[in-house]
C-alpha cells in the first residue's frame, strides 16, 4: 500500500470502540477506590515483622513482603493515596497559577503578555524534573515540597493552553457583545471566556495528572520526593532496586501498578481530546511535555 492510500483509508475509517478506554477507566476506579478507602481496609502499611522479611507473594501477602516484613500490597494501596494526593494538589496549584497567567497574557496582550510569557519561559528553561529538584533543594524534602515542586513544573502548560484559547475567543462576537455592555476586563476573562475554555483545560487536567504521578514517583525514586516511611511507589522502587537478587517482585509489582496508572491516565486523556477535536489524531500534547523520567 502506498503512503497516500494509507492516509486516505485512515481518514475514512471510524474509530474502533475504545476498549482501552474502558479498561483504563476500570483500573483507575480501582486505584482511586483503594486510595480513598485505604484506611478502612484491614491492612497496615507500617506494620513490621522482621521474621517475614522479603517473602515472595503468597496467600497472606499477595505482593510479598519488603525488607522489614511489611506487606507490599498494603504499601502499594497506601502509595496510591500518596501519589493521587500529590498529583491532585499539584494539578490544582498548576491550574490556579497557570490559568490566570494565560488568561491575562492572552486577553490583554502587549507588555503584560511579554512579561508573563517571559516568566513562563524561565520556568521552561529547565526540564521539569530538574525544576522540581531545584525547588526541593530550596524547600527541603517533604510531601508538601514535592507537591509544590510538581505543581510549579505544571504551570507553563496551563498558561500556554489558556493563552492560546483566549487568543481565538477574544475576537468572537459574544465576547465583543459582553465588552459592549461595559463589563470589566476581569468579568470578561473569568465569567465570559473561562467557562468557554473549560473543556480543553479539563483535558489538560487529566494529562497533567499522569505527568504529576510520574514526576512524584521519579522524585521519590531519586530520594528527593516524599520522605519515608510514608509509602510511595517511587520510594518502593528505590528500595526494591537494592533487593533485585533476593526479591525481584519487590520492585516489579509497585512499578507495574505505577505504569498502569500512568498509561490509564494517558489513554483517557487521549480519548477526551479526540472527543473534543475529532480532527486531531488523539495524541495529547502533554504526553511529551513530561520531559523526563
Partner 1 sequence: MTGFILRRLAQLIPVLLIASFAIWAMIFAVPGGPVGMMVGENATPEEIAAATRKLGLDRPIPVQYFNWLTHAVTGDFGQSLHSRDPVTKLIGERLPATLQLALVSILVALVIGIPVAITGAVKEGSWVDRLLNGWNALALGVPTFWLGILLILLFSVELRWLPSASRYVPLWEDPNQALRSLILPGLTLGLYVSGILARFLKASLVSEARADYVRTARAKGVSERQIVGHHIMQNALLPFITIVGLMVANFIGGAVVTEAVFTYPGLGRLLIQAISTRDYPLIQGCIVVILVIYMAISLIVDILYAVIDPRIEYR
1 is a contact residue toward partner 1 (CB under 8 A): yes
Cα–Cα dist 94/100, whole Å:
10
One character per residue 134-173, x = contact with partner 1 (rule: CB under 8 A) = x-xxxx----------------------------------
Q: Is the CB of 114 or the CB of 186 nearer to partner 1?
A: 114
Q: For partner 1, how many residues bind (rule: CB under 8 A)? A: 56
15 is a contact residue toward partner 1 (CB under 8 A): no
Quick one: which of 223, 228, 229, 276 contacts partner 1 (CB under 8 A)? 223
130 is a contact residue toward partner 1 (CB under 8 A): yes
Q: Is the CB of 63 or the CB of 197 nearer to partner 1?
A: 63
Q: 226-246: string of b/e by CB count within 10 Å (b at 16+)? A: bbeebbbbbbbbbbbeebeee
User: Looking up cell 483566549, which residue turns up?
Assistant: 166
99 is a contact residue toward partner 1 (CB under 8 A): no
Cβ within 8 Å of residue 54, ≥6 positions away: 64, 65, 66, 67, 243, 246, 247, 250
Question: Which region among 48-56, 59-67, 172-180, 215-223 touches partner 1 (by CB under 8 A)?
Answer: 215-223
Sign of the four-CA dihedral 262, 268, 271, 277 = negative
Q: Is the CB of 170 or the CB of 233 nearer to partner 1?
A: 233
> In this structure, what C-alpha cell is assigned to residue 57?
507473594
Q: At what angle do helices 143-169 and 72-108 cross, to 10 degrees?
A: 40
Cα–Cα dist 147/92, whole Å:
10
Quick one: which of 144, 248, 276, 277 contacts partner 1 (CB under 8 A)? 248
9 is a contact residue toward partner 1 (CB under 8 A): yes
Site for partner 1 in 253-292 (CB under 8 A): 255-256, 258-259, 262-263, 266, 281, 283, 287-288, 290-292
2 is a contact residue toward partner 1 (CB under 8 A): yes
293 is a contact residue toward partner 1 (CB under 8 A): yes
Cβ within 8 Å of residue 68, ≥6 positions away: 48, 49, 50, 53
13 is a contact residue toward partner 1 (CB under 8 A): yes
Least Å from the CB of residue 154 to partner 1: 14
Q: Using a CB cutoff of 8 Å and minimum separation of 24, what contacts does 140-143 make? A: 141/224, 141/225, 141/227, 142/226, 142/227, 143/82, 143/85, 143/86, 143/226, 143/227, 143/230
Footprint of partner 1 (CB under 8 A):
1-4, 6-7, 9-10, 13, 118-119, 121-122, 125-130, 133-134, 136-139, 214, 217-218, 221-224, 234, 237, 240-241, 244-245, 248, 251-252, 255-256, 258-259, 262-263, 266, 281, 283, 287-288, 290-293
Amino acid at each position: 500500500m502506498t503512503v497516500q492510500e494509507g492516509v486516505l483509508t485512515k481518514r475514512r475509517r471510524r474509530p474502533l470502540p475504545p476498549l482501552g478506554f474502558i479498561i483504563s477507566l476500570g483500573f483507575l476506579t480501582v486505584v482511586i477506590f483503594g486510595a480513598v478507602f485505604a484506611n478502612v481496609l484491614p491492612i497496615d502499611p507500617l506494620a513490621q515483622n522482621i521474621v517475614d522479611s522479603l517473602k515472595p507473594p503468597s496467600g497472606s501477602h499477595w505482593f510479598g513482603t519488603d525488607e522489614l516484613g511489611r506487606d507490599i500490597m498494603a504499601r502499594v494501596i497506601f502509595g496510591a493515596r500518596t501519589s493521587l494526593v500529590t498529583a491532585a494538589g499539584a494539578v490544582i496549584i498548576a491550574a490556579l497559577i497557570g490559568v490566570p497567567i494565560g488568561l491575562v497574557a492572552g486577553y490583554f496582550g502587549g507588555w503584560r503578555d511579554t512579561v508573563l510569557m517571559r516568566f513562563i519561559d524561565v520556568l521552561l528553561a529547565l526540564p521539569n524534573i530538574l525544576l522540581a529538584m531545584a525547588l526541593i533543594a530550596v524547600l527541603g524534602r517533604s510531601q508538601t515540597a514535592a507537591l509544590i515542586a510538581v505543581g510549579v513544573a505544571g504551570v507553563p502548560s496551563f498558561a500556554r493552553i489558556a493563552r492560546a484559547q483566549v487568543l481565538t475567543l477574544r475576537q468572537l462576537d459574544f465576547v465583543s457583545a459582553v465588552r459592549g455592555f461595559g463589563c470589566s476586563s476581569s468579568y470578561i476573562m473569568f465569567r465570559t471566556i473561562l467557562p468557554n475554555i473549560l473543556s480543553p483545560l479539563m483535558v489538560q487536567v487529566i494529562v497533567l495528572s499522569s505527568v504529576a504521578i510520574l514526576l512524584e514517583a521519579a522524585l521519590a525514586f531519586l530520594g528527593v520526593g516524599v520522605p519515608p516511611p510514608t509509602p510511595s511507589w517511587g520510594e518502593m522502587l528505590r528500595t526494591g532496586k537494592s533487593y533485585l537478587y533476593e526479591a525481584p517482585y519487590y520492585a516489579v509489582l509497585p512499578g507495574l501498578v505505577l505504569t498502569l496508572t500512568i498509561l490509564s491516565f494517558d489513554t483517557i486523556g487521549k480519548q477526551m481530546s479526540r472527543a473534543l477535536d475529532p480532527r486531531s489524531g488523539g495524541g495529547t500534547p502533554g504526553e511529551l511535555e513530561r520531559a523526563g523520567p
